[in-house]
Structure 1
């Protein structure tokens, strides 16, 4: 998360720069008034857009030009150079866009361009209403897309969360560490949802839906009819099943309420044991060390994240955390928890006045199961994200879809994938027939080190390492039977973007 600079640098683009100073494929950072702006020469045309990604404020000058788009170097958002429109999450808001003129051998930025208007949809065949179950990344992106695409019917979002949609990835990172403001978390304001007639109903738990009657039933017995339904309830954290696991100082981290409770406990805690060495456990460890807590990590693995990132990056992650004072207890599990300590399966004891459990999650498929929607370690969807129930779609952590590039049916529990699926599901509710073909992407940030991962490799038979993981400068490529499946990078944002583009070309071939 970042705030824009108070005084943008570079040339005043309204006064122009010599055309000779910006060759084909070049980008010049400057400003228009007090706003940072980026002048781009791409494909014999000149474009001027906002210089910072609307997601976390990354400098787009460090990104990748692809056709008439630009991609963010940090988290792979994509924007149109022509309109500034946010084409792909995690950015949801558009960039400002200005006209550019060539005068007297100079490129001069002029007036602001108006944002593209929503198309006018033909109402025939559109759903009478859309109900979205879930207020996470997929549900929020779907609701925003319905309005952006011109749908004017009722859009109702039902979420069991007490908060309206928020930036969930920040919970284990900046927000937990205390370096992100609470005001940064909401994806949009209450005013935004009201202005766009998106009916967000928080603290509303759905208990069932009936595909035959096209109705959703809530825990209070009330019912909500739908014309089209999006299932996007996400996942539930796995619980530790040992004596003492229900004690009040034992926490999981999934929701904003979970995070706020954990932050409150940090005020009186000194020693934390984290159970699990996955992304959540490691990010929580980094955040709590930032707060000054003593942190121990317990996991049965030989290396943290080895099953996802491989041995080289697993060793890098361990060394990174140990350099910040984290103590690992690997190859062991928790046997029991007391008020001031935990007992390991080896019989050893660790002092702990705070325990955080991060041992994975499972898709929340209860509603789909009771409605007899097809399941396979998640909710089965086709390329258009349709379930086996008529006019019922699924997106996000619960959806298992056919991935053309790998030939597998896959389910991915990551924020960017969920948001991109929400967009596609919404478009297909409106009859656009767009198949979901986005290449999966996720990121993790621990201390000042970021890991980007593009593609999908549930298993691999070869991992090639280019660079030096210990120096936090490397690219790891994961192969299976001679096919490149995924790429993880540390300190190489451009390599990550190029890998994504290459994977997309394979998918569209």
Structure 2
């Protein structure tokens, strides 16, 4: 995107901007009554929208204009330029918009436009009630989408978590590091759910599903009927099965309560051993180094995240963490004792706290026991429908036919889960919208972020453009000369362009 902010930053857009300054595909930055605003053009139409993403506040001037939308450079949210609506997660809130008037060769930004109001859908045409099992990314996104789409019937979200929906990616990043205000974590306030008539039932586990009678059974024996159901039960962390794995100083990180317990544990800790060098393990290592805790990481491969990102980016991450005095050990843990970890190589590591990040397993027991098709996840079609009538699945448990690879895949990432929650909600209302989003995730280590679009469970070639050591590069993953995924470091716009390139490919048909 062409950005003329260097010459126009802070200018008052109500005073007018020459039309020749507003080029197609570019933005002019300025302000309206002190609020940062972007002014942009699509053909003969001009749009003025708020300048920062409603997710984490990224500067949208650094993003990408696609049709009549603008995409966030950090985490790939998208907003409609016409009315400011958030058209794709992870952003939940809309952008503010202003009216633009053209007079004598200039564009003047006028009053703010009214917020978009949802339509009103007649309940007789839709499910009499909708139940959502799971209070994570997919479940929360689905509940909000139902109300955005105008659904008027009862919406109940049943969550085994004691906390209302929160920003899970932050747990292993700023929140664990102690640099995030705890008030940032909840996705919404209790007042928001009350205003939108979303019944959040936290601390309630659904133990049985009966698709024939359209009932769920809670752990206390209560039976609840539904008209349509979304299963979004997520995943649970794998546990070590070695001697000492159940000692009280051995932790996992999945929920807010897990994170709060870990923060309490490391308050007086000097040494932590992290078992596993995936996303969670490395982000935990970075967060604990920020707290001043000495960290040793035990991993199976020569480089962290090598199986996902390849050796070049894996080596980059290892060097980055070692520059922050994280020590890496290749091997496996054989035994955990009260103050040390013993590797199968014979090496011993001091450990006041042990954190295991060795992957997760999808929570499919509810679906399996209800007779739904399960194969390394809950099997769904392109509309996220399960094998049971009026039962949908989304998030970490959903295994869907990916139109870009031609394979059935399951992805354990926040943005994918939110986007599936949106599509599942619309389809419960009869929209018949295919889930065709290109998978996206990001991971943050100190001040270095990696964005990844696409899906590559295996590859036979990795092309590197740029310098991983300088934290400015693009890695492209190929199999049989087919581009499967792109990871970028320090190249946010390239990540957006790669995502768009995947979207414009011809989908692979499924048998």
Q: TM-score per shorter chain, which class? A: over 0.9
How far residue 104 of structure 1 moved from its aligned partner, in angstroms, is: 2.7
Q: Write the distance in 1 (CA, Å) between the matches of 2:157 and 2:269.
A: 37
How far residue 24 of structure 1 moved from its aligned partner, in angstroms, is: 2.1
Q: Please give the per-residue CA displacement for 1:459-500, whole angstroms capped at 9, x wherever unaligned.
A: 111111111111111100001111100000001111100010
Q: Write the distance in 2 (CA, Å) between the matches of 1:24 and 1:478.
A: 32
Q: Tell me, what secondary structure is at the counterpart of 1:263?
A: helix
Q: Which residue of 2 aligns with 1:383?
A: 382
How far residue 116 of structure 1 moved from its aligned partner, in angstroms, is: 2.1
Q: Tell me, what secondary structure is at the counterpart of 1:14?
A: helix
Q: Please give the per-residue CA displacement for 1:147-174, whole angstroms capped at 9, x wherever unaligned.
A: 0000000000000001000000000001
Q: Is the 8 A contact 2:450 2:489 kept in 1?
A: yes
Q: Please give the per-residue CA displacement for 1:355-393, whole angstroms capped at 9, x wherever unaligned.
A: 100000000001001001001100000000000000000
Q: Which residue of 2 aligns with 1:36?
A: 36
Q: Write the distance in 2 (CA, Å) between the matches of 1:25 and 1:460.
A: 35
Q: Is the 8 A contact 1:229 1:393 kept in 2?
A: yes
Q: Which residue of 2 aligns with 1:260?
A: 260
Q: Write the distance in 1 (CA, Å) between the matches of 2:317 and 2:25.
A: 36
Q: Which residue of 1 aligns with 2:404?
A: 405
Q: Is the 8 A contact 1:437 1:507 kept in 2?
A: no
Q: Write the distance in 2 (CA, Å) between the matches of 1:400 and 1:182.
A: 33
Q: Tell me, what secondary structure is at the counterpart of 1:139?
A: helix
Q: Write the distance in 1 (CA, Å) between the matches of 2:22 and 2:391.
A: 50
Tell me the TM-score normalized by structure 1: 0.97
Q: Which residue of 1 aligns with 2:76?
A: 76
Of the structure 1 ranges 100-109 and 448-457, higher mean CA displacement relative to structure 2 is found in: 100-109
Q: Tell me, what secondary structure is at the counterpart of 2:321?
A: helix
In the alignment, is residue 284 of structure 1 matched against residue 284 of structure 2? yes
How far residue 21 of structure 1 moved from its aligned partner, in angstroms, is: 2.3
Q: Which residue of 2 aligns with 1:5?
A: none
Q: Which residue of 2 aligns with 1:329?
A: 329
Q: Which residue of 1 aligns with 2:464?
A: 465
Q: Is the 8 A contact 2:122 2:152 kept in 1?
A: no
Where do 1:354-393 residues align within 5 Å?
A: 354-393=353-392
How far residue 31 of structure 1 moved from its aligned partner, in angstroms, is: 1.1
Q: Tell me, what secondary structure is at the counterpart of 2:135?
A: coil
Q: Which residue of 1 aligns with 2:4?
A: none
Q: Is the 8 A contact 1:25 1:43 kept in 2?
A: no
How far residue 124 of structure 1 moved from its aligned partner, in angstroms, is: 3.8
Q: Write the distance in 2 (CA, Å) between the matches of 1:502 and 1:56.
A: 25
How far residue 202 of structure 1 moved from its aligned partner, in angstroms, is: 0.4
Q: Which residue of 1 aligns with 2:156?
A: 156
Tell me the TM-score normalized by structure 2: 0.97
How far residue 42 of structure 1 moved from its aligned partner, in angstroms, is: 2.5
Q: Please give the per-residue CA displacement for 1:297-326, whole angstroms capped at 9, x wherever unaligned.
A: 001122111110001101101001001100
Q: Please give the per-residue CA displacement for 1:325-367, whole angstroms capped at 9, x wherever unaligned.
A: 000001x111111111111011111111011000000000010
Q: Which residue of 1 aligns with 2:137?
A: 137
Q: Which residue of 1 aligns with 2:351?
A: 352
Where do 1:7-22 residues align within 5 Å?
A: 10-22=10-22
How far residue 507 of structure 1 moved from its aligned partner, in angstroms, is: 4.7
Q: Which runs of no fewer than 5 residues in structure 1 stay unpaired?
A: 1-7
Q: Write the distance in 2 (CA, Å) between the matches of 1:122 and 1:401.
A: 30
Q: Please give the per-residue CA displacement for 1:280-313, whole angstroms capped at 9, x wherever unaligned.
A: 0000000000111100000112211111000110
Say what the alpha-carbon RMSD is for the aligned residues: 1.1
Q: Tell me, what secondary structure is at the counterpart of 2:504?
A: helix
Where do 1:2-401 residues align within 5 Å?
A: 10-330=10-330, 332-401=331-400
Q: Tell me, what secondary structure is at the counterpart of 2:312?
A: helix
Q: Write the distance in 1 (CA, Å) between the matches of 2:420 and 2:43.
A: 30
How far residue 246 of structure 1 moved from its aligned partner, in angstroms, is: 1.1
Q: Is the 8 A contact 1:26 1:42 kept in 2?
A: no
Q: Tell me, what secondary structure is at the counterpart of 2:123?
A: coil
Question: In the superposition, relative to structure 1, how do residues 502 and 198 fare at CA in structure 2: closer, same or farther (>3 Å)?
Answer: same
Q: Tell me, what secondary structure is at the counterpart of 1:114?
A: coil
Number of residue equivalences:
501
Q: Is the 8 A contact 1:308 1:458 kept in 2?
A: yes
